[in-house]
């Protein structure tokens, strides 16, 4: 799920007053992929909801974060220092990192390739 879509889904759920139900569903998914993780700055509300999802999934379900940013840059993108610390502690310290260098797949495997 793209992070912008996740933020939209949570905002709609918040507006319809069923945010907790949506978060509970995300907690139960066996594999959750945050695509384009932290492409945009998280609001305080977004970061707290992400923390709740990550905290509930920690060591219980699989979560993949796809991002263009090093983990050192995450704090500034998450916002509130205490929330950023909590999110990073749950992600960074119990994770495997796969770093891909060079051009992205879209550039390497684009329409111009035969």
Please give the CATH number for the structural domain made up of 3-104: 3.40.50.300
Asked if the model's pLDDT at residue 113 lies above 60, the reply is no
- Three-class DSSP category at 68: coil
Give the model confidence (pLDDT) of 17-74 as tens digits.
887 888 888 888 999 999 989 988 998 988 998 999 998 888 899 999 999 898 889 9
pTM greater than 0.75: yes
Q: Where are the domains of the chain?
A: 3-104
Instruction: In whole angstroms, give the CA distance from residue 63 to residue 51.
Output: 13
**What are phi and psi for residue 64, nearest 5 degrees?**
-115, 135
Which residues fall within 8 angstroms of residue 90, CB to CB, at 6 or more apart? 51, 54, 55, 58
């Amino acid at each position: 799920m793209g992070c912008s879509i996740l933020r939209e889904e949570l905002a709609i759920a918040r507006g319809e007053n069923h945010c907790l139900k949506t978060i509970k569903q995300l907690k139960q998914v066996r594999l959750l992929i945050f695509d384009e993780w932290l492409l945009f700055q998280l609001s305080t509300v977004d970061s707290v909801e992400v923390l709740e999802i990550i905290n509930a999934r920690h060591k219980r379900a699989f979560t993949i974060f796809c991002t263009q940013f090093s983990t050192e840059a995450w704090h500034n993108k998450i916002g509130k220092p205490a929330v950023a610390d909590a999110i990073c502690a749950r992600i960074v310290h119990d994770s495997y990192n796969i770093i891909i260098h060079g051009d992205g797949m879209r550039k390497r495997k684009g329409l111009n390739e035969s």
